[in-house]
Structures are given as C-alpha cells and as structure tokens.
Structure 1
C-alpha cells in the first residue's frame, strides 16, 4: 500500500512539473520569444524556431521585433532549402511592413528563393517560367535599385536555361517526327538573344544555374 502511495505521489509530482513547464511557456515578453527563436535558428531546429516565432506573433502582434524576426525566419528557411516556407515569411513581411524599400527587398528575396528552388530543367519548367516572369515584373516595377544587378544575373541564367530547354524539346519532337511542334521551339531558339555557342552546359542541372 505504501509503495502504491509513493508511486502515485511521484506521478503526481511528475505531471505537475510537466504542467508547470508548459504554463511557463505562455505570457512571456517579446524578447523572450525572439531570443528563443534565434537560438533554435542557430542550432538549425527550424520547426522549433517556427513555434517560437508563432508565439512571438501571437502574444506580441505589434512588437518591433516581429519585422526582423520575419526576415530571419525567411533567410533561415532559404538557407535550409525550404523555399516555400521562406516565401511564406516574405509574403507576411510584405503584408505587415510594405513600404517601398521594404517591399523591394522582400520581392528580391522571393525571386532569389524561386531561383534557388530550381533543381531540374525538365521537371521544373513551370517554376522556370514563373521565375522569369517574376524577375521581369520586378525590373519593370523597380527601374533601378541596389538589387538589380543580382536580379539581372539570375534572369540571364534563367534565360540560358530556357534556351537549352527549348533546344532539347525541339530535338525531342524531331526525333519523334513531330516537325510542326519542333518548329515552334526552333523559332523560339532562333529569336532568342542568346546563341548556342555562347552557352556551355554543365552536366549537373543544379550547377547549371547556381555555378554557371
């Protein structure tokens, strides 16, 4: 009987400890959540960092720390090759802090995230077209800013990828005897400002864009 009482008391203390630990993770100042988030970003535990960001945003929606926290989380997910999550944070940043300079920077990072997400020229054709359109739209919206040289570099590499893709599709249609379809892609190649002898295609598709 005494053993049962001891066991029950021990379990009660254990659950009480767990409960008090959970309760202690509420109603904290914004700097607490921010520092916890940064700590887990530094240790590459982005799931935990996301949780602490959510707590920061939920409990301190008007905190001045949120602006920087969103950019930290966007960059952290980008570094971890989680590009959709990176773009989610950037979209939230634009909604909350959308003045001209901030939006230009956030949209540049979104283009960079899309660019880095490109892995395979044959599998990611829609991403290729969407990123080209995104970069061209950026150039029209922001005629000149400090990010434009990097946007131009990414766009040039994307156009190189598009050129090679059109070449490959045309060759594929020709091998299958579908000359009308092949002609469409040959025309696209013909009217490109790029020339085939100017493009040295690496064997690795990721290197194709990143290390060209």
Structure 2
C-alpha cells in the first residue's frame, strides 16, 4: 500500500514537472525568431502573448536592432486596440533604447497621437485634454520646424474646441442650477476663448448615451 502511494506521488510530481516545462514558454531564440513569433501573435490578435514574447526578446537581446522595429509595431498595435497606456509604455521603452535627435520628435508625436486617439467623448477626460494641450504646446516650442507640426496643430485645435465646448456645458449647468457666481466665472473663460461668438456645431451624443451622460 505504501509503495503504491509512493508511486502515485512520484508520478504526480513527474506529470507536474512535465506540465510546468510545457508551459514555460519560449526561450533561447534568436532575435529574428522572437520577432517572427511576435508578428504571428499580432496576426492571431493575441496582444497578451505578443507582450509576453516581447519581454522574452528584450531580456535575451537587450539592444538588438530588431527591438527598434518591434517596439514601434507593438505601440501601434496597442493604439489600434485603444490600449493607450500600454502604447505609451512601448514608446517610452523605444525612447530609452533608441531615442536620438533624429527621431525624438517622432516618438513625442506618437505619444501625443495616442492621447488624441484616447479622447473620444467631448464631455469626458478633462484632465486628458488639459494635459494634452500642455504637451502639444511644449512639443511645438521644442520642435518648431518638425514635419509633424501640421498634424499636431490640428490636434491642438480639436482639443481647444473640446475644452471650449466643455466650459460652455459647465456654464450652462451652473446657470440652470442657480449658481450664478460660478456661471459668471465660466462665462468669462468663454469670452476669452478664440471660439467665442464663432458659429460652432456642437457634438451630439447618441440618444442612448445622452440619457446618462448629459450634465
């Protein structure tokens, strides 16, 4: 009986060891093999695996040139999936490993674009809008001749318009609730804005969202 019990325990340990070995994942691959695996993960729409395999690639090939391409691809893949914090992580990694005077404006542009793509609803993300305005202002000051200037200027205009719309909505809320002193503060902000007295078509929410999101 004891021998049978010992045999079962030993068999369980062996099976567990085999299972662990099978689930260990990939290792000791060349940079090209890691790269092909990550591309396959992206083709399979498995971003989690792609992230995992990037970690393996980065740990085994700290400064391989293929990492440069891989980081940009992964950043764009996460932007496409609206996972903007992960996209920024990869852009920061790119900047640390491969950032130089020839591409630093491109990386900062991509980070601004990630924030812009994350901004989807006009009356949300006030902190994101203000942070993006500040970041764009800094970018334009640091790189006045960058080729991305027109694109970033367009984003800034849209952020400015969104802030104006948000202030207008808040001012209307204060008026409707009788908080006139606060309403006057926001009225002053509106009057100082470049879009004041301009003909602007306000963004409209679908009826099924406006029920819950209108101030």
Question: Could you say which TM-score interval applies, normalised by the shorter chain?
Answer: 0.7 to 0.9
- Is residue 61 of structure 1 aligned with residue 62 of structure 2? yes
The alpha-carbon deviation at position 44 of structure 1 amounts to 1.5
Residues 1:140 and 1:24: Cα distance change in structure 2 (over 3 Å): closer
The alpha-carbon deviation at position 122 of structure 1 amounts to 2.8
TM-score norm. by structure 1 comes to: 0.85
- Is residue 121 of structure 1 aligned with residue 122 of structure 2? yes
Q: Could you list the runs of 4 or more consecutive aligned residues of structure 1 that deviate by over 4 angstroms after TM superposition?
A: 10-24
Could you report, residue by residue, the CA deviation over 1:29-72 in whole angstroms, capped at 9, with x for unpaired residues? 11111110111112211000001111100011021111111111
The alpha-carbon deviation at position 23 of structure 1 amounts to 6.4
Aligned to 1:75: 76
SS of 1:27's partner is coil
- Rounded to whole Å, the distance in 1 between the matches of 2:157 and 2:149 is 12
- Cα pair 2:28 2:60 within 8 Å, conserved: yes
Residues 1:128 and 1:62: Cα distance change in structure 2 (over 3 Å): same
Aligned to 1:208: none
- Cα pair 2:174 2:183 within 8 Å, conserved: yes
SS of 1:62's partner is coil
List aligned pairs for 1:1-212, cutoff 5 A. 18=19, 21=22, 25-204=26-205
| C-alpha RMSD of the superposition | 2.4
TM-score norm. by structure 2 comes to: 0.83
- Rounded to whole Å, the distance in 1 between the matches of 2:47 and 2:191 is 46
The alpha-carbon deviation at position 13 of structure 1 amounts to 9.0
Moved more, 196-205 or 53-62: 196-205
SS of 2:188's partner is helix
Unpaired stretches in structure 2, ≥5 consecutive residues: 207-215
